[in-house]
Amino acid sequence: MSIKVTRKESASRFLGLVVNKTVFLSAISVIIFSVGFTLIFEQEAEHYFGIAQTFVSAHGGWIYTLAVNLFIVFCLYMAFSKFGAIRIGGEKSKPEFSLWAWFAMLFSAGIGNGLVLFSIADPVRDFLNPPRLAGQEPALIAQEAINFSFLHHGIHGWAIYSVVGLSLAYFTFNRKMPLTLRSAFYPLLGNRIHGWMGDLIDIMAVITTLFGLATTIGFGVGQINSGLTHVFGIPNALFYQVLIILGVTLAATISAFSGVNKGVQMLSKLNVRVASAIFLLVLILGPTTFIFKSYIQNIGSYLVHFVDMSTWTESLQGTDWQKTRTIMYWGWWISWSPFVGTFIARISRGRTIKEFVLCVLILPALVTFLWFSAFGGTTMRDILLGDTAMIAAVNDNISTALYVFFDKFPLAMLLKVLGVILICSFIITSADSGALVVDSITSGGKLKTPRYQRVIWAVATGLIAAVLMYGGGLNALQTVVTISGLPFAILLVMMCFSLYRGINEDYDKSERQEKLLERESYRKNILDLVNKEREEKNLKKIDPETQPKKKPNITDI
């Protein structure tokens, strides 16, 4: 099912770039103003942004909770309904990448360095500050800490990415529309997406993507520096962090110049391979049986409490735990969804909707759960056995918690080096794929643009991170990214309705066309039979040999 929609060409030449000038100039202006404001008025910015975050958490948290659960229901419906067999790009479309390469890229872009940073820190922090079981048996608190880590890093987050990715992939490859967020709202807004409404949606996507990437790179660089300090004794100082940003930016620039088929794919495969090596070493050198047992138990406990945790809004407790945990994560996932969703859409041509949903929604979550069970689960076990080293490490600096964890294993130095490589690779992949996405949005959704445009955005992301790290303001912008998730959550709900309307319209049109073709084929077959019978009768009249011989009459004898 591939239906082309007539659209207005929005990209044009500007200073040698192929861009939508309105989106490009507006996004650049807002970014420069925001960065300048947070640098000049850092304390004031953090104060007022903090007030805004508190307000959003107190009065808008229920919207987040309702929305992320709706996304899961919607994705599963799309996969197992009549739409599940629809192929992205049309019936004859074939996948551009192998299943392994496709999963590696979507997983690397979507999970980032959070897999490494929070797999130990989150269970420990939630054990020390339980959301609901304070004063209960420590084993129960530890299990719930793992459950909430699964909640924050599992199916809900990937459902957010699935909604954006599936919507953009369908409208881009099936309706032949540009790869920008505005395209996903065509069934609701019609041709108005080519005007100021569409421009506003794309501007919000560019700003959110760049700020989200810049803050993630900034904090990730701090994690890299902490690792280098812990492993090699390199000082944890601003000078070295700026050098790391320059190195990450250079690597991301080279990869962005290479494109998706080379740079991003190579880095993504490297991420998965290094992560697999680290996991296998921990599995073999650590408590192997315990990791497998805890993985099964953790998934079971997560599923048993899934609905309860997913719909818990802290309404009767009167506490603010969710503000710094669940709501923060939902805002973070949603703020990253324009970037990750667009990137996943870019690489998903040829997949069926059912294959897309199951691979994007379920598979990354299962891999994440296994990683958290190995690292967070083992840490919980050690804490229950009386080892408080990881508690001290997390309280001191969550960026070094992973390296303290590796000290418990043989080949600790090898694990630490691999850990630094993995974090670097994840951040470079995020910066690289982010540059590709921003370039696509600002160019009016073009899949192929001059290579130097991608390089510009890769450099811009690194520059924003370096400036904010040098002058302060990363914490303030991280809060802004979290707050910006609320209007995007509402937009994503609208996107669900838009995708359903669009795909249902196309499905009905396709069915009507098939019925018309069947009727036409049936009518043609009937006509062919009638014509054949007429031809046979005509032949019989013309050719006497075809006539049956007349029996002789007695009177003729």
pLDDT one-digit tens code per residue, 125-154: 999 999 888 889 999 999 999 999 999 999
CA distances from 41 to 74, 215, 463 (A): 42, 17, 19
- Close Cβ partners of 398 (under 8 Å, ≥ 6 residues apart): 117, 118, 120, 121
Please answer whether residues 165 and 356 qualify as being in contact, where contact means their C-beta atoms are separated by less than 8 angstroms. Answer: yes
User: Of how many residues is the chain composed?
Assistant: 557
Mean pLDDT of 519-544: 72
pLDDT one-digit tens code per residue, 285-296: 999 999 999 999
How many angstroms separate the CA atoms of 64 and 71, rounded? 11
- Close Cβ partners of 435 (under 8 Å, ≥ 6 residues apart): 252, 256, 454, 455, 457, 458, 461
Q: What is the pLDDT of residue 557?
A: 44
DSSP reduced 3-state for 286:
coil
Q: Helix, strand, coil shares of the chain as percentages rounded to 5?
A: 80, 0, 20
Please answer whether residues 409 and 95 qualify as being in contact, where contact means their C-beta atoms are separated by less than 8 angstroms. Answer: no
Q: What is the pLDDT of residue 86?
A: 93
Mean pLDDT of 417-431: 86
Range of 190-194, 253-257, 438-442 with top mean pLDDT: 190-194
Task: Outline where 259-311 has alpha helix (H).
Answer: 265-285, 288-304, 306-311
* Confidence category of residue 484, pLDDT binned at 50, 70, 90: confident
Burial code of 88-115, b = ≥16 C-beta within 10 A, e = fewer? bbeeebebbbeeebbbbbbbbbbbbbbb
Q: Among candidates 411, 112, 109, 117, which has minimal Cα distance to 278?
A: 411
- Close Cβ partners of 117 (under 8 Å, ≥ 6 residues apart): 220, 223, 398, 399, 402, 423
- Close Cβ partners of 262 (under 8 Å, ≥ 6 residues apart): 255
How many angstroms separate the CA atoms of 202 and 199, rounded? 5
Mean pLDDT of 426-447: 81
DSSP reduced 3-state for 134:
coil
* Confidence category of residue 542, pLDDT binned at 50, 70, 90: low
Report residue 296 CA to chain centroid gap. Answer: 25
Q: What is the pLDDT of residue 186?
A: 94
CA dihedral 178, 182, 183, 186 (to 10 degrees): -150
Specify the range with the lowest mean pLDDT, choosing from 9-23, 271-285, 534-548: 534-548
Largest Cα–Cα separation, the chain:
130
What residues does 161 pair with on adjacent strands? Answer: none
β-pair type (17-19, 12-14): antiparallel
Burial code of 250-260, b = ≥16 C-beta within 10 A, e = fewer? ebbbebbbbeb
Q: What is the pLDDT of residue 16?
A: 64
Q: Is the pLDDT confidence value at 184 over 80?
A: yes
**Greater confidence, 219 or 92?**
92
Q: What is the pLDDT of residue 2?
A: 47
- Close Cβ partners of 181 (under 8 Å, ≥ 6 residues apart): 164, 168, 201, 202, 204, 205, 338, 342, 441
Judge residue 517's burial from the number of C-beta atoms within 10 Å of its C-beta, 0-12 exposed, 13-18 middle, 19 or more buried.
Answer: exposed
- Which tokens sit at 215? 């803050």
Q: Among candidates 548, 93, 120, which has minimal Cα distance to 349?
A: 93
| Average model confidence (pLDDT) across the chain | 84
How many angstroms separate the CA atoms of 33 and 482, rounded? 19
Please answer whether residues 390 and 404 qualify as being in contact, where contact means their C-beta atoms are separated by less than 8 angstroms. Answer: yes
How many angstroms separate the CA atoms of 423 and 441, rounded? 27
DSSP reduced 3-state for 179:
coil
What residues does 14 pair with on adjacent strands? Answer: 17
Q: Is the pLDDT confidence value at 355 over 70?
A: yes
Range of 15-24, 82-91, 205-214, 515-524 with top mean pLDDT: 82-91
DSSP reduced 3-state for 141:
helix
Q: What is the pLDDT of residue 331?
A: 85
